[in-house]
Amino acid sequence: MKKISGWGPNMWPRILILRDRLSVCLSANWLWKGTITVGLLATMFIILHLTGRLVWCPFAGFIICLYCFLTRTHGYWAERGVPGPRPLPLFGTYLEQFFYSFHVSEEERLKKFGHVYGIYEGTKPGLIVGDPVLLKDIMVQHSATFYNRRSVKTTHPVMSNFLSSLEDKPWKRVRGLVRKTFKPRELKSVHHLLQDSCLALIASLDHAAATGSDIDLKNLFGAYTMEVISRSCFATVPDEEFVRNASSLFTFPFWRKFCDYTMPKWFLDSWLVQFTVLPKAGMDFFRNITTRLIADRLAEPQNRRNDFLQLLMEAKHEGDGLSEDEILSQSVLFYSVGYETSSQLLTYCIYCLALNPDLQDRLRKDLIRILTEANISCDADIPYDVFGQSDYLSAVIAETLRFYNPVLRMERKAVENYILHDQAGKEMLVEKDMVVGIPVWALHHSDEFYPRI
C-alpha cells in the first residue's frame, strides 16, 4: 500500500492547535460557526495531504480568514437573545430575497420570528420592528432620535442631496424650506394643472365606456401621473425621451439595492466603480432639464410659473435658502418617488372599486351629496377645498394603500443610542447609526392586526 505523502502522527495535533487558536476569536454563542470552521480546516488538511498539495495551504488559510472576517458580527443578535434569520457570509440575511419576492419573505419572517427580530446587511446588524407600540415610540414619541434615513453611498450631486439622503442639520434645513412648498396655499396654486391633465384621462375613460372596450389602467394612470408631475414640477409635457429616463428611476433591479445595503461606501463611490442605486443617466437627464429651466426663469423673472420648481426657486432666496444642486435634487426626488406610487395607488383603487360595485356606488353617492351641498355641478371644475370633505373617499384610498402599498418597508436610523422596551418589559439597545426597518407590507397583511372578515 502506497504511503500517503505528508501525513504523519503530528498532523492531528496541528489541527487541534488551529482549532484552539480559532476559538479565541469566536464567542461562545458562535458555536455553530466554530464547528463549521474547524470542520473546514480538518477537511482542508485531509484533502491537501491526500493529494500531496500542501502548497495550497496559504490560499486555503486565506479563505478561512476571509470567512471569519465576513461573519465576525453574525453573533450580535444571538448574544442579545433577539431572534432572526441565520446570516450568511457577504449576503447577511438578504440572499433569500434574490429568489423570493421581498414582500413574501417579509410576511414569513414576521410570522416566524415575531414582532421584533434582527437582520444583517452583510456584516452590519439591523433591527426589524413590527410592534405597533414600539413603532409609535420610534415614529412619534421619540422621532427626534430616529429622523435620519439610511446613509447614501454616493457623492453624485443629485442623489446625495435628496431630502431622503440628507442627515442631521442639512436635513432639518432643507426639510424646513421644502415643506413650505406643500402648504395649502401653494398646493392650491398648482391645482389647475391637475384639472387640465384630467381632461385626457376622462376622455379615455369615456371612450372605453362608450365602446365597451378593455382598458389598461396601469398605462392610463401612468400617463396621467407622468403628465401631472411633469407639468407641476418641470413645466413640460413628457415626450418619449422623458418617459424613458423617468422609468429608469424606479425600475432598477434588486441587485442595485443589495449592493447599496451590503458593500462599503469607499468601494461603491471609488473612481473605478462610481455606483449609484438610481441610474446615473436618468438623474443626469433631469438635472440637465432642471438646470436649463432655472436659467430660463432667472433670465425672464417677469414670467412667473405656478409650479413646484418655481416654489423651490423662491425658497432659495429666503435667508439660508436652497442651493441649485439642492433644488435639482428635490425636483428629481419629487418625480422619482411620486410617479410609481401615485399611478399604482390610482390603478389599484379603481380596480378594487370595479370588483366591489356596491362600494363604488356608495362612494359615488357620497361625492354627489358633497357637490350638491356645495352647489357645484358634477360637470364643473371641482374646487380644491371640496376634495377633503369626503371621509369615505379618504377611507377608500387608505384601504387601497393598505392592500397594495408601494412601500414594502420603511427605515429610520438612530442618531444616538436608544433603548426600546417591548410589552413584556424586555430591553433592546438600538445603537447609534443602526438602521431600524418597519415591515409595512407585512403589518398591513397581518391577520393579527387586520383580521380577515
pLDDT digits (tens, 9 = 90+) for 304-357: 777 778 878 877 545 567 887 888 888 878 877 788 888 899 999 999 999 999
Provide the pLDDT confidence category of residue 53 given band limits of 50, 70 and 90: low
**Residue 208: pLDDT over 60:** yes
Identify the helix (H) or strand (E) that includes residue 248: helix 240-248
CA 360 and chain centroid, separation: 32
What per-residue confidence (pLDDT) applies to 153? 65
Please give the average per-residue pLDDT across 381-389, as a whole number. 78
Contact 363, 337 (CB under 8 A): no
What per-residue confidence (pLDDT) applies to 25? 47
Instruction: Round to whole Å and give the CA distance between 228 and 308.
Output: 11
If you average pLDDT over every residue of the chain, what do you get? Answer: 79
Instruction: Round to whole Å and give the CA distance between 310 and 351.
Output: 35
**Residue 365: pLDDT over 80:** yes
Please give the average per-residue pLDDT across 144-149, as a whole number. 91
Instruction: Round to whole Å and give the CA distance between 92 and 88.
Output: 5
Residue 282 CB contacts under 8 Å (≥ 6 apart), including other chains = 245, 246, 248, 249
Provide the pLDDT confidence category of residue 31 given band limits of 50, 70 and 90: very low
**Residue 8: pLDDT over 50:** no
Task: Output the CA angle 245-249-255, nearest 5 degrees.
Answer: 125
Provide the pLDDT confidence category of residue 29 given band limits of 50, 70 and 90: very low
Instruction: Round to whole Å and give the CA distance between 249 and 231.
Output: 18
Percent of the chain predicted with pLDDT > 70: 77
**Residue 369: pLDDT over 70:** yes
**Residue 69: pLDDT over 50:** yes
Helix (H, G, I), strand (E, B) or coil at 438: strand
Residue predicted with more confidence, 402 or 377: 402
Question: CA Rg, the chain, in Å?
Answer: 28
What per-residue confidence (pLDDT) applies to 254? 62
Please give the average per-residue pLDDT across 227-231, as a whole number. 83
Percent of the chain predicted with pLDDT > 90: 25
Nearest to 154 by CA among 264, 318, 76: 264
What per-residue confidence (pLDDT) applies to 134? 94
Nearest to 149 by CA among 337, 315, 286: 337
**Residue 97: pLDDT over 50:** yes
What per-residue confidence (pLDDT) applies to 393? 93
Provide the pLDDT confidence category of residue 131 given band limits of 50, 70 and 90: very high
What per-residue confidence (pLDDT) applies to 2? 41
Query: Which residue type occupies 367?
Result: L
**For 164-176, how does the pLDDT look when each residue is reduced to its tens digit (9 = 90+)?**
888 888 888 888 8
- Strands 124-129, 435-438: pairing is parallel
**Residue 78: pLDDT over 50:** yes
Provide the pLDDT confidence category of residue 39 given band limits of 50, 70 and 90: low
**For 408-445, how does the pLDDT look when each residue is reduced to its tens digit (9 = 90+)?**
899 999 999 999 887 777 888 999 999 999 999 999 99
What are phi and psi for residue 24, nearest 5 degrees? -65, -30
What per-residue confidence (pLDDT) applies to 327? 83
Helix (H, G, I), strand (E, B) or coil at 171: helix
